[in-house]
Structure 1
Amino acid sequence: MTPADAPAAGATAAPSAASERRRALRRLLRNPLTRFGIGVLMLLLTVALFAPWMATHDPLAQNLDRALQAPSAEHWFGTDEYGRDLYSRVVHGSRITLYIVTLVTVIVGPIGLIVGMVSGYFGGWVDSVIMRVTDIFLSFPSLVLALAFVAALGPGLDHAVIAIALTAWPPIARLARAETLTLRRADFIVAVQLQGASAARVLGRHLMPLCLPSVIVRMTMNMASIILTAAGLGFLGLGAQAPSPEWGAMISEGRRTMMEAWWTVAAPGSAILLVSLAFNLLGDGLYDLLDPRGE
């Protein structure tokens, strides 16, 4: 290839990559359930970003004269026992949910991926020690283990995030280990090792990109579990503290009056249901897109 041909080759590669991304996006959006999930998550992101402008009332302002009012033109989702506007509280609660999901994902994804790849690549006693620790974490239900960690750390939103992260990494590590065990004896990995590549280079440059698709799918599906665990901690008073408009805490407050004012639990409960369902649907769509065995 002459120097004059190099720009032409680069220009050809760029449109090819762009067209591949467009085909992947079209394939992802082909499923109406996946489109629904993406739409709900885009709505969640929009609501979280513009919560101060989308809320119709101060989410913390109390007005006992308007306590337990049914949904109306003034209060779209009704009011709670303190007269606070439920719509505004649900809108601001989306920020807390997005904060929890984002922070837990940032913590859990890299930890689970690295731990799993190291365990699968080195094997032997390294694999045995890491997997026994992982088995200990997996032997307890995630909510029960999160409750134990929060009890030790103390109630609070940041402590709840740490507790959820400590319970969410083992499934990611297990998956990354399984992918690494499948790939570590592949011909191209052996060839790279024979060329003198270090373990860190093999893991970072060659194995990690191949493990990422499965980890991304699993993390997307785990987000629903993260939301439910966070809501459970908030419901028990161990997550976000009052008067914070966290959805689980709102359900806990509304359960005292749910028989005569169903909307106090219906509004935050519906939000949890929709967002959890959306993450699951998106995870299914990503699995169909990234599964190397798919057509």
Structure 2
Amino acid sequence: MSTATTETVDAQAEAAVEEGEKREQTRLAALWSQHYDLVILPAIIVLLLVFLFLYVGTRQLDTIEQRVLAPANVGGLLWQQILLAGASTVLVLLIAVPLGIALSRRGARRVQGPVLAVGGFAQALPPFGVLLLMAFWLDFGFTTAVVGLTIAALLPVLRNTVVGLQQVDQSLIEAARGMGMTSRQTLFRVEIPLAVPVIVAGLRVALVLNVGTATLASYIGAGGLGELVQQALRLNRINVLLVAGGIIAALALLIDWLAGVVERIVVARSG
């Protein structure tokens, strides 16, 4: 092989390597622009928790603050908060999705508007007031708090379910029916899979709402991290209040991040 041919092959190889590197950089840049929040949010959570740890470690806590901020006490209240948010979100999913599917059907279009209006009215009510009304109507405790949280967070999932199903391309539905699918088969094989990303987005909103609103459940004897806030206010302990607020914020951010990851996975598979 001549020297000129060797140089040409080497140049082509270098050009191919450079082209591959450019494509990889472009791909990484595109991934970063689409998902940078999934990296930044965990960093914010870690920084927040580190700040709380350093803050508590540099303060001279009295015996009351030490007892309230004991890991066993905080861990138990955190678990109660997660149970409240998780149970109410499961109920929202079990109620709102089937109801949204029913309202999206052609025969239910007349009642769709009034039902969504009632749901919007329920969401517009102050969550604290809803919880208190439910407590006086039913009873104080965990179950009543879950019912109140479910009512407060029902609308986002219900509305997104209806909107997601209505946005499905009508030509796809007609094509499925033309292939011999029944209405039920078309719903479960075509409409719902295409509407899942929109439904998951509504579920993400409901979950984050429930995590924050569950803090108020302590006022009706349901436990949760709101107990820390109440104890801080009753005992006039600013250190406890700061730690409680930081933990609640970190939990809400963590749940939002996890829900965001699930939402991206669902969207990617649906696409």
Name the TM-score, length of structure 2 as normaliser: 0.69
Are 1:238 and 2:242 an aligned pair? no
Q: Of 258, 268, 271, which aligns to 2:247?
A: 271
Are 1:94 and 2:51 an aligned pair? no
Amino acid paired to 2:141: G
Amino acid paired to 1:160: A
**Aligned counterparts, 1:157-168, within 5 A:** 157-168=142-153
Q: Which residue of 2 aligns with 1:152?
A: 137
Cα deviation, 1:80-121, whole Å, max 9, x if unaligned, reads 369444332112222112212221221112322221222123
Between structures 1 and 2, the one with greater helix share: 2
SS at 1:255 equivalent: helix
8 Å CA contact retained: 1:31, 1:285: no
8 Å CA contact retained: 1:153, 1:159: yes
8 Å CA contact retained: 1:38, 1:282: no
Q: Which residue of 2 aligns with 1:249?
A: 227
**Aligned counterparts, 1:1-295, within 5 A:** 31=35, 33-35=37-39, 37=41, 71=56, 79-80=63-64, 83-122=67-106, 123-183=108-168, 185-195=169-179, 197-234=181-218, 237-241=219-223, 246-258=224-236, 261-283=237-259
Structure 2 unaligned blocks of 5 or more: 1-26, 47-54
Once superposed, what is the RMSD of the aligned Cα atoms?
3.7
Superposition deviation, residue 156 in structure 1: 0.6
In structure 1, C-alpha distance between the alignment counterparts of 2:32 and 2:68, rounded to whole Å: 40
SS at 2:220 equivalent: coil
In structure 1, C-alpha distance between the alignment counterparts of 2:190 and 2:138, rounded to whole Å: 38
Cα deviation, 1:161-187, whole Å, max 9, x if unaligned, reads 12111221122111111111111x521
Superposition deviation, residue 130 in structure 1: 3.0
Superposition deviation, residue 126 in structure 1: 4.0
Q: 1:135 to 1:31 in 2, by over 3 A?
A: closer
**Structure ID, larger Rg:** 2
Q: 1:28 to 1:220 in 2, by over 3 A?
A: farther
Q: 1:135 to 1:264 in 2, by over 3 A?
A: closer
Sequence identity of aligned pairs in percent?
16
Structure 1 unaligned blocks of 5 or more: 1-22, 43-69
Q: Structure 1 residues 269-278 or 27-36, which shifts more?
A: 27-36
Amino acid paired to 1:190: E
SS at 2:64 equivalent: coil
Q: 1:91 to 1:125 in 2, by over 3 A?
A: same
Superposition deviation, residue 233 in structure 1: 2.5
Superposition deviation, residue 204 in structure 1: 2.4
Q: 1:249 to 1:197 in 2, by over 3 A?
A: same
Q: Which residue of 2 aligns with 1:52?
A: none
Q: Which residue of 2 aligns with 1:4?
A: none
In structure 2, C-alpha distance between the alignment counterparts of 1:78 and 1:35, rounded to whole Å: 38
8 Å CA contact retained: 2:156, 2:205: no
In structure 1, C-alpha distance between the alignment counterparts of 2:263 and 2:35, rounded to whole Å: 12
SS at 1:155 equivalent: coil
SS at 1:154 equivalent: coil
